[in-house]
């Protein structure tokens, strides 16, 4: 299953949540694991994106640093928690995120110009977050 992708910019928070909701369980009813399409890295945290403070940044880390890959249910909970939440911009300011907020991929303080463009269900047990460069 793939999420509708965008060639104009990263997908929105709401679109990503809906796509993950549709793909969260494997055939045995267990939550699938999620990772990015680069470097074997996994989602870790949400922050205001340094490139555009009013947008979100989904951070990443090595799965060995967090004792494995997060599952899709955990990621959905994190993303839903961002709706209506106020984030501090890198150089100040308060920014409230909503379902129409774009999601970039960057750790706190970084501006990578990389955004999430969709998801791909890889086999029965994994969902891959697809990314692209928007520089």
Show the domain range for 63: 13-133
CA dihedral 38, 41, 5, 30 (to 10 degrees): 130
Question: Is residue 5 in some structural domain?
Answer: no
Question: Is residue 45 in some structural domain?
Answer: yes
Question: Is residue 1 in some structural domain?
Answer: no
Number of domains into which the chain is organized = 1
| Residues in contact with 68: Cβ distance below 8 Å, sequence separation at least 6, in sequence order | 33
| CA gap 18, 100 in Å, rounded | 12
pLDDT tens for each residue of 7-17? 568 999 999 99
- Cα torsion angle, 77, 54, 56, 65, sign: negative
What pLDDT does 5 receive? 52
> Is residue 67 very low, low, confident or very high in pLDDT (cuts 50, 70, 90)?
confident
| CA gap 48, 92 in Å, rounded | 10
pLDDT tens for each residue of 81-134? 999 999 999 999 999 999 999 999 999 999 999 999 999 998 889 999 999 999
Question: Is residue 4 in some structural domain?
Answer: no
């Amino acid at each position: 299953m793939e999420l509708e992708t965008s060639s104009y910019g990263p997908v929105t928070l709401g679109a990503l949540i809906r796509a993950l909701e549709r793909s969260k369980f494997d055939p045995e009813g267990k939550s699938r694991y999620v990772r990015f399409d680069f470097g074997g890295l996994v989602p870790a945290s949400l922050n205001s994106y340094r490139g555009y403070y009013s947008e979100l940044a989904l951070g990443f880390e090595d799965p060995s640093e967090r004792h494995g890959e997060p599952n899709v249910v955990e990621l959905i909970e994190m993303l839903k928690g961002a709706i209506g939440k106020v984030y501090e911009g890198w150089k100040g300011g308060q920014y409230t995120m909503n379902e129409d907020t774009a999601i970039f991929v960057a750790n706190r303080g970084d501006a990578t110009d990389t955004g999430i463009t969709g998801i791909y269900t890889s086999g029965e047990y994994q969902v891959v977050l697809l990314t692209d460069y928007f520089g």
